[in-house]
A and B are shown apart, each in its own frame.
Chain A
């Protein structure tokens, strides 16, 4: 347990530092995905496997896809394919791929070993989480549903392509 935690923590800190220091947004996103995956492995180590899978699905899946779509929307054009070839040099994706392989190896080893958390850490099962979520926290669940609804409406409203409006004094006079 200890060794696995320290390996995963080192990967998390290193990849987060790489996120902070990259200049290229795509490289930063690759390292951020590695960082999220390592945090998910730490959740698994701490006896929260359901949260680990949620972290991978929502953070590393949905949010990262959203940001990548956004970055792809911003630099359209013929030079983007050339840039993409230039970005995907083997040296750039080799390190995140290596980290991912290390994390996968840890996870497979832990699952194959029928991992139980060390003494002092009690595993909190998804059943307890669900009972607590829909028991005392039911009001917060409703509130987060309202928040997501507001997020959808706000993103749609802000994301519309508005026609360019200029003040009538600023427009050039048709003469």
Chain B
């Protein structure tokens, strides 16, 4: 009997495919998310847009909040640790959290090294903007990827940029001659062996979800159409007018992302989505996606 194998860790993310993972800050929100059909919840102290508004250093949530969420629902519970913060990650693992997000939404604890995620039994999800970043995270042991997007903005443009970029680079690698892959690995800053695997599989070896700016059912469906395996929604649900209805509508739009009549139907009278931020109005220091290396 073996625990924490790649198959067990990556397999867990495979089971989440086609689903929506929702940020929640307490038991009540977690229950709304589960009831709406979320495949997992991300337990946080504050959703990303509130982290932006609060400023200062953002850290792992109070374990009491994470525990409260774990006790409230039967679906998997994820939680965020700071980039490179070995102890926050070990604490979350010890608590029995089902998946850890080594996340740029929190203030990084290490500006050079990410966690060696291969050393953990619990699986990790990490953000990426391009294939080089994706491949480095996989080599460190990430079992699941997501676009970074620009968290807490309610603006889908960065998630679209990152999903298109990664998928275009995967297609390029798949189409390349094997003699060309070492130079490509050097240019991307990606491990050579991983590029060989991507070429052989014709895709990334782990699932890649969309995250960072999903605010409406149409946003979720757009990301699925661009090739996302599923969707993370952070501030988009509990910063909207009617969280329960938004949550259900986003779940349905993610499953039936090519059924446009249905998306029109479920988008009617949803109320106001989260307000959102134009990316060019963000100061360089406020861009969360630039955290991580």
Physical interaction between A and B: no
Interface residues of B (CB under 8 A from A): none
